[in-house]
Amino acid sequence: MIVGLSAGCGSGNSNSAASSVPKGAAGAGNPAAGAASGDSAPNQAAAPSARQNSLAKAPVAGRSIVYSATMTVRTKDVEAATANAETLAEGSGGFVGGENSQSGTVPDVQGLTQSTVTLRVPSAVFEKVIGQLGTGGVVQDETRSASDVTAQVVDTGTRITAQQASIARITDLMKSATNLSDVVTLEGELSRRESDLESMQAQLAALNDQVSLSTITVTFLVPQAASPAGTPAAKHQNALQRGLHDGWQAFMGTVKVLLVIIGVLLPFTLLAAVLWWPVKGAARLVARLRAGPAAAEVGAPAAADES
């Protein structure tokens, strides 16, 4: 019974590879379609648009591509720019994935001085949303990336189809099983494969979500605010600059630790100094008092000898 089960599972995996078409990659699961579009899709993804550093228009036909972008925009009204970004995402069919706003980080500037917003927008309007985000200020830096996950989507979809066929075969075997040990073994296999199927379905759903909704992280700063840590300018430093920067940071960290230690010990040192002088004076006074009678006793025999 178990040998027949293993053989049936193996044949299911080989037969389902060519027929699976995942939901997130239309046409990508068809080998013939993939071969036909294999040469044109990369060229479309690599072709630059009129804007410098711009990616190809999303989505690319026949491919599953995850688009993401990071921006820093200088604007006089951070609060208004943040509200506009959130409205823009919701109006485009997306949503706000997160927001972190700060105020009071710049002297003499009221209201928000920095805000970081994570937007999830449909990939079809990825370029449009990025262009509109920078209209309310000056774009300081902008980084975009595109990751082709077509192979992962197709592979996960194929594995799901094979796993579903395997579960169906185990279910049929359980209907005809009469031996208790075979039933227990089949139930264990069924439970394990159903768990694996749920995991693969969750992976495919996550991939489809990343493909259908692009991620844009935009940071709004007032003109006077310092650049946030980890900007692209810092990433392009050469080895010497990074070494000097890291060494200086390590030195300043050591100095800060020493200052903290000195600050902790200084009150105790002052207290010990204040208490030491009276103790030292009292010790000297006791020594003098003890030395006075001793000198008198030594002087008395000496005077008697002279007489």
Q: Report pLDDT digits (tens) over 146-168.
A: 999 999 999 999 999 999 999 99
Residues 164 and 307 in one domain: no
Is 266 within a domain?
yes
- Say how many domains are in the chain: 2
Most confident option among 6-20, 51-65, 208-222, 255-269: 208-222
Instruction: Among 162, 183, 205, identify where a domain stops.
Output: 205
Residues 18 and 163 in one domain: yes
Is 256 within a domain?
yes
Q: How buried is residue 123: exposed, middle or buried, by Cβ count under 10 Å (0-12/13-18/19+)?
A: buried
Residues 291 and 158 in one domain: no
pTM of the model: 0.53
Q: What is the mean pLDDT of the chain?
A: 76
Residues 244 and 305 in one domain: yes
pLDDT score of 269 = 84
Is 95 within a domain?
no
Residues 245 and 305 in one domain: yes
Is 92 within a domain?
no
Is 50 within a domain?
no
Structural domain boundaries, residue 278 = 237-307
